[in-house]
Structure 1
Amino acid sequence: MKHLQLKLLAALIGFLPALTGCGHPSGVMQPVPLAAGTSTAQVDMLVATTRQPSGDARTLFNGERSPKPSMTDVAVSIPPKREAGTVQWPQRLPPNPATDFAVTRVKQIDTIPEGRAWFRQHIQGGHALVFIHGFNNTYEDSVFRLAQIVHDSGMQATPILFTWPSRAQLTGYEYDKESTNYSRTALEQSLRVLAADPEVKDITILAHSMGTWLAMESLRQMGIRDGHVNAKIHNVILASPDIDIQVFAKQFVELGDPKPQFTIFVSQDDRALAASSFITGNVSRLGAIDPSKEPYRSRLEKAGITAIDLTKVKTEDSLHHGKFAESPEIVQLIGQRLMTGQTLTDSNVSLGQGVAAVVGGTARTVGTVAGAAVAAPLTIVEQPVRTRRPSGREVGEDLESDRKSKPLTQ
């Protein structure tokens, strides 16, 4: 049965190039020198990982699990001529910084004090961004994606990447999911160390796809241990969250109070989430809901969660799964609005014309209600919902109306 499910998954998402990122050479982590006079931008990031070292300077880390987390200082050069929202992968090695994304510095960091020293050298207003990638990503995939997001968003924050052990294989869904569970304590500890630094004023977590599960599980652990999430974690942004709605409801409650400001990016045409829903029992994924419909709208609003519907936003992503990073307007929204703690429904938020065309025209927003986070969206799972099988045929599916959610600590 499991083999059949994997074959069906591969057939459903027959767009392997879009999902696996093939079409570019691997092994781009070997630093290249910048020629004198080269006009490029540079993104410096701190990379924490639970991946196993590969022993090869071209890849640094593979998709296997390491019992000991590692930290690395990485600098990525970004070429001047490129379309916003794109990662300019080299067609051959070594990369040419004038035309390609290129790694220009790699330095291992062995201790927490060294990591804190790095942060102080790269601090930007005391704001920290922690990015957590999704399913089917190599180490270099996640490094280049974060570099693109930071550069295109114009955010004034210190970028930190947490990359977990993904085998970067289409048939590795279950392995990847277990790797997120393997990594949740390491991410929780990383967030605690970051929050303990007096130079850090606030932290924004930006997680994508399966990485949203890891983010929620780590925050949930923190909430269970301390009764609430660390106060310096101001914003949690979940992009295309690959999370069972019922499970998210429990996770959200177990964060405790007060909670960070939550923003979710959803899209009903997300093909990757449709496949994920199919292989996990046809339970709706959080990233595929329509937040304008009940019961989602009222429950999200009551919980203080902002939902942004990107269904009509067009990008080059054939899976419709990476819109948050590939739409120039949305990635700028993350950097210039959400990173500064402004919600899209605040009356004092003045959106630029380009962003307004996306948010006001093709994306709907669900407002937040200050101070209402204690009423978690548990009853989202208590109403009949309609799920869509990957073939596109709709089927009605009643969820258990008498299902009760209780904290795991009880």
Structure 2
Amino acid sequence: MGLSWQMVSWGALRTLTLSLALSFAVTSCASRPIGVLLPSGKRTANTTEVDMLVATTRAPTQQAGILFTGERADDLSLTEITVSIPPEKNRSVGQVQWPKRLPADPQRDFTTVNVRELPNKTGPTEWLGKHMPKNKRMLIFVHGFNNRYEDAVYRYAQIVHDSKADVAPVIFTWPSRASVFGYNYDKESTNYSRDALEDLLRRAAQNPQVGEITIMAHSMGTWLAVEALRQMAIRDGRVAPKITSVILASPDLDVDVFGKQWAAMGAHPPKFTIFVSRDDRALNLSRRISGNVDRLGQIDPTVEPYRTRLEKAGITVLDLTALKSGDSLNHGKFAESPDVVKLLGNRLIAGQTITDSDIGLGERVGAVALGTAQTVGSAASVAVSTPIAVFDPNTRNNYGEQIQRLGRSVGNTVGSATGQ
């Protein structure tokens, strides 16, 4: 799945890096107050609360409202955190509304209501006893590159709230220096955290209170999530059956390496859904500094060799390239688009299969399935989902052309599957 390696001039790379650094600076925490995780202990009318279990390999700090730094800890720490979300009339879906000053205004800002340290052995069972929904589904989120602890916590609270997912929300946050120039440190921190995440996943799967587990990971966090699953499969002979779905958003993964990771998961991997966007500027930088090999999160799933390989693997791909968002890097569309967040809650987090007839992204965003097929020749036919393209209204004037392309795609796919 790889491409030929090309030399990239350091001058061009330096210019691109500085450009992305400025983009990060524009959208980052420059105007945020320090210490937003200092709990108020107050519950406010008309707000909504998200109570989550936070597991981390970060080093703790005594600094008020910070909780954990970007450095590495020897042991896993568990914390229960309750985040308050402002009333719908005062916020935009898909956005984290950071306070401009403290104390935060719960009617307009995300605020921290409660923080409670939990014991490593008994804490998860106690927390799950209070927060497991009737469907017994758990959602575990792994954040991406350049995230502070509070960034990960507030973003996940936004995703859980806006998607209206009926889950027990758990987040795994790994040590990040929260700097665009800390790429290598962050990448090594994901490697450092693999065993801890694998252990967390195994403990969750072995807990009788848990029925099904969906893993959702973003950016560099996808490397950590897939590596943990790969390790589990090698160690245990398969990925735990309760881990039924994996959602990779803007995955910062070398496509060649992902192919090997996938193969290591054996004959019964979880169902994978991947969000890609070919205009992802953050992944463009990662590609350039990683030998110019495609990153999984910016492939075109309609072209070869990707289309055939994805079909054979049964991996669903959602192409968000034409979708516009407020993210200048086009790296966080999965969380910022109201329609995609709705899709997460209605279908993907619930572990359901996506088709062109039931995506239901509304009027502002449409979706078309690029065809479906079944592989033939094995004892049991394996249903495979082909990529799905998501496009905005500006592309609908090409709808007829898209339909014709779909017809050709279905014909070619069926012919290939039947050996014709």
Q: How far has the Cα of 1:34 moved from its partner?
A: 2.5
TM-score, with length taken from structure 1: 0.85
Structure 2 residue 126 is matched with structure 1 residue 117: yes
Contact 2:69–2:175 (CA under 8 A) maintained in structure 1: yes
Count residues with an aligned counterpart: 370
Identity among equivalent pairs (%): 52
Tell me by how many angstroms 1:9 deviates. Answer: 4.8
Residues 65-121 of structure 1: CA deviation (Å, up to 9, x unaligned): 001110000000000020000001000012111110001000000132221110111
Question: Does residue 261 of structure 1 match 2:271?
Answer: yes
What pairs with 1:259-338 in structure 2 (closer than 5 Å)? 259-338=269-348
Distance in 2 separating the partners of 1:373 and 1:245: 23
Question: Deviation per CA, 1:138-172, whole angstroms, max 9, x where unpaired?
Answer: 00000000000000001100100000000101110
In structure 2, what is the Cα distance between the partners aligned to 1:310 and 1:84?
18
Equivalent residue for 2:367?
Answer: 360
CA contact (8 A) 1:207 1:239 kept: yes
Query: Counterparts of 1:67 and 1:53 in 2: how far apart (Å)?
Result: 11
Q: 1:139 aligns with which of 149, 165, 182?
A: 149
Q: Determine if contact 2:214/2:351 at 8 Å carries over to the other structure.
A: no
Q: Mark the CA change 1:236 to 1:178 in structure 2 (over 3 Å): closer, same or farther.
A: same
Query: 1:224/1:11 Cα in 2 relative to 1: closer, same or farther (>3 Å)?
Result: same
CA distance in 2, matches of 1:257, 1:266: 25
More deviation, 336-345/14-23: 14-23
**Which consecutive residues of structure 2, in runs of 5 or more, have no partner in the other structure?**
1-7, 385-420
Q: What is the CA distance between 1:31 and its match in structure 2?
A: 0.5
AA in 1 matched with 2:168: T
Work out which of the residue numbers 233, 239, 244 in structure 2 matches 1:234. Answer: 244
Identify which of 100, 107, 113 aligns with 1:104.
113
Cα distance 1:40–1:21, how it changes in 2: closer, same or farther (>3 A)? same
Q: Does structure 1 residue 185 correspond to structure 2 residue 195?
A: yes
| Paired AA for residue 121 in structure 1 | K
State whether residues 340 and 361 of structure 2, in contact with CA within 8 Å, keep that contact through their aligned partners in structure 1.
Answer: no
User: What corresponds to 2:389 in structure 1?
Assistant: none
1:211 partner amino acid = G
Where does residue 73 of structure 2 map in the other structure? 66
Report the more deviating stretch, 9-18 or 75-84.
Answer: 9-18
The alpha-carbon distance between structure 1 residues 192 and 19, as it changes in their structure 2 partners (threshold 3 A), is farther
1:207 pairs with 2:211: no
Distance, in Å, in 1 between the alignment partners of 2:224 and 2:180 is 19
Q: How does 1:155-194 map to 2 (within 5 A)?
A: 155-194=165-204
User: Would you say the 8 A contact 1:19–1:136 is kept in 2?
Assistant: no
- Is the 8 Å Cα contact of residues 308 and 365 (structure 1) preserved in structure 2? no
1:94 to 103, 124, 137: 103
- The one-letter code sitting in structure 2 at the alignment partner of 1:32 is S
Deviations 1:172-192 (A, max 9, x none): 000000000000000000001
**What is aligned with 1:384?**
none
Within-5 A mapping of 1:392-407: none
User: Is the CA contact 1:259–1:373 (under 8 Å) kept in the aligned structure 2?
Assistant: no
Summarize the Cα distance change of 1:367–1:57 in structure 2 as closer, same or farther, 3 Å threshold. farther
In structure 2, what is the Cα distance between the partners aligned to 1:226 and 1:247? 21
- Separation in 2 of the partners of 1:34 and 1:282? 50
Letter in 1 for 2:98: W
Deviations 1:10-65 (A, max 9, x none): 32413133553433223211001336x52100000000000000122310000000
Give the match for residue 395 of structure 1. none
d(CA) in 2 for partners of 1:5 and 1:207?
Answer: 30
Post-superposition shift, 1:294? 1.4
SS in 2 for 1:352: coil
**Normalising by structure 2, what TM-score?**
0.83
The Cα RMSD (Å) is 2.4
* Superimposed CA distance per residue, residues 363-398 of structure 1 (whole angstroms, 9 cap, x where no aligned partner): x667585877899xxxxxxxxxxxxxxxxxxxxxxx
Whether 1:42 and 2:52 are equivalent positions in the alignment is: no
Report runs of 4+ in structure 1 exceeding 4 Å deviation. 1-6, 364-375
The residue aligned with 2:358 is 350
For 1:64 and 1:292, locate their aligned partners in 2 and report how far apart those are by CA, in whole Å.
Answer: 40
Shift of 1:8: 4.1
How far the C-alpha of 1:340 sits from its partner, in A, is 1.9
Distance 1:374 1:85, change over 3 A: closer
Q: Is the Cα contact below 8 Å between 2:76 and 2:120 reproduced in 1? A: no
